[in-house]
Copies of this chain bind each other. A is one copy, B any other.
Amino acid sequence: MEQQGGNEEKTVCRQSSTRWTPTSDQIRILKDLYYNSGVRSPTAEQIQRISAKLRQYGKIEGKNVFYWFQNHKARERQKKRFTADHHHPIPIYSNFPNNINPPGNFASSSAAGLLNGYGSVAMENSFRECTITPSANVGGQNLAWFGVDTYPSPYPFLEMSRSINNQTLLQAAEEEASEIETLPLFPMHGDAKQDWHHRGDDAIAAASLELSLNPYAAGFRH
């Protein structure tokens, strides 16, 4: 909750020079991919292809594509979030499909108040207007693509290599294992105790150890 006590100067080093300025053709294609092809969070491979393709229309890098989708998606969602719930008595904290309406909260429409500043319903600039119909992508991700050539895609370069990518990482479980039995994870403030995500405690011992950074530890641990 509270934030820093006295130290400020956060300086984040955000970018400082020129930023990518998409050409209209690039925008057009990106939007088409987004709205017509349902691409939302392209995989690294797709990003590569997309950026390679868009490079015909101007300078562009993979990260630009990455951020574009990331931002576009987030902003669309954000907008929807602020407008959607006004229609129904649905309060902000409910996400149930559509029923139930928790006590008083509807009138929130005063919008302006909370919108950080943006949030205005300004709406998008040129395109957008919907026209889209994300067709097959309800899930949010563009499934349906691989393999089949059933229907022609306007963006063949996007076809995935059909490797659904078995991520199979079950091991993720221990995800970090940073835990040591006797050691209190972190010294949190007594009362606050916010327990940021407790990970399964057991394991533990497991690796425990080796505390690596110590020169000697390394040497003698065996």
Interface SS of A by simple majority: loop
User: Counting CB contacts under 8 A, is A76 at the interface?
Assistant: no
Q: Are A2 and B11 in contact (CB under 8 A)?
A: yes
Q: A52 to chain B: which residues have CB within 8 Å?
A: 187, 207, 209-210, 212-213
Number of A residues, CB within 8 Å of B: 116
**What is the minimal beta-carbon distance from A70 to any residue of chain B, in angstroms?**
8
| Protomer copies | 2
Chain B residue numbers with a CB within 8 Å of A42 are 178
Q: Which of A3-60 contact B (CB under 8 A)?
A: 3-18, 21-24, 27, 37, 39, 41-49, 51-53, 55, 57-59
Q: What are 8 of the A-B contact pairs (CB < 8 Å)? A: A12-B21, A12-B27, A55-B206, A103-B218, A145-B218, A165-B216, A171-B182, A173-B180
